[in-house]
A = this chain, B = another copy of it.
Amino acid sequence: MREVGVDKVNLAAKLGRFEQLWAPRIVGELNGQHVKLAKIKGAFDWHRHEREDELFLVVRGRFRMELRERSIELDEGEMLIVPRGVEHRPVADEECHILLFEPASTVNTGDLRNARTIEHPEWI
């Protein structure tokens, strides 16, 4: 009955609140899952998530998801679910804005830990 806290999220407005690349921000939580927004450009690191399936939805621009055996081009209004265990690497030639949907436990670099690892993403 938490009606008081129910409020809408405007994706473009939230995206206007940060510039940092490869640093997902949390914009919602439900059923143990987080909704995140991220700005990406260039190539990320190859990684996989052992226990989490991950959804990517393009809000603005385009990027390609490289898998080990092929790549998938994603345009605005297209989404991809990368199942747990599957190695992947997002690559964007131009800046691209994406919505992520994944368990709250998900770390952006998966099984990898490096300078781009963000253990506790910021809420915006």
Closest Cβ of chain B: how far from A60's Cβ, in Å? 10
The bracket for how many chain A residues form the interface is: 35 or more
Within 8 A of B (CB), among A65-120: 67-70, 72, 74-75, 77-83, 85-86, 101-103
Tell me whether B55 and A35 are in contact (CB under 8 A).
Answer: yes
Render A9-33 as a binary contact track against B, CB cut-off 8 A, 1 for contact: 1111000000000000000111101
A9 B86 Cβ-Cβ under 8 A: no
Residues in A lying within 8 Å of B, measured CB to CB: 1-3, 5-12, 28-31, 33, 35, 52-55, 59, 67-70, 72, 74-75, 77-83, 85-86, 101-103
Of all A-B residue pairs in the complex, the 4 with the closest CB atoms, nearest first, are A30-B53, A8-B80, A2-B83, A11-B77
